[in-house]
Amino acid sequence: MDKKVAGLLNDQINKELYSAYLYLDMANFYSGRGLDGFANWYEIQAKEEQDHAMLMYKYLHNNGQTVTLGAIAKPDKEFQALSDPLEAAHEHEQYVTSLINAIYDAAQEARDHRTVQFLDWFIKEQGEEEKNSADLITKMGLFGGDAKGLYMLNSELAGRAYSAPSLQL
Ligand code: FEO
């Protein structure tokens, strides 16, 4: 396997685990304010990020690569308003998309077709993640301004259930 591509995927494991930690911090923010539905949404988001990290970890091992695990950074975003984590999550997903795209480009340059195919799932996943995070900002803008609307939105987000990734290795 191409060394540069393997190195980028190894780095991405850390980025995905950081994402999990960041989303747990968002769940933490909402839990502290009694918004258990929002907290549920981000707890599930955190689990999905751990799944992403594990898919990359397994993929590298399945292809004879050595994985090196580094320190996971402290979540360093400051949240004040109830909408702050929603905005930060959307920005973060756009950043993750740029990282996945960069690995995809490197895999294509290296003519590593297997990794390109593996990453196709992540390209699609990022499209969904960005849509979900943008939709949440829109809903919060529409309904979050009054107590009843916020209660309804919180109830909706409480209904999100975890499901394992559709990609299995
Ligand atoms: Fe692993 Fe939210 O992207």
Residue 41 CB: number of other CB atoms within 10 A? 27
At 85-126, the pLDDT tens digits run: 999 999 999 999 999 999 999 999 999 999 999 999 999 999
Q: Is 92 in the pocket of ligand 1 (CB under 6 A)?
A: no
CB 50 within 8 A of CB 10: no
| Spatial CA neighbour of 15 closest among 53, 51, 64, 62 | 53
Separation of CA 143 and ligand 1 centre (Å): 26
Query: What element of type H or E holds 76?
Result: none
Distances from the Cα of 167 to the Cαs of 28, 48, 137, 161, 163, in angstroms?
A: 28, 12, 28, 18, 11
Q: Give me the pLDDT at residue 57, please.
A: 98
At 44-60, the pLDDT tens digits run: 999 999 999 999 999 99
Question: Which ligand 1 atom is at minimum distance from the Cα of 125?
Answer: 3
pTM: 0.97
Q: Is 51 in the pocket of ligand 1 (CB under 6 A)?
A: no
Separation of CA 149 and ligand 1 centre (Å): 28
At 93-102, the pLDDT tens digits run: 999 999 999 9
Separation of CA 85 and ligand 1 centre (Å): 15
Q: Is 15 in the pocket of ligand 1 (CB under 6 A)?
A: no
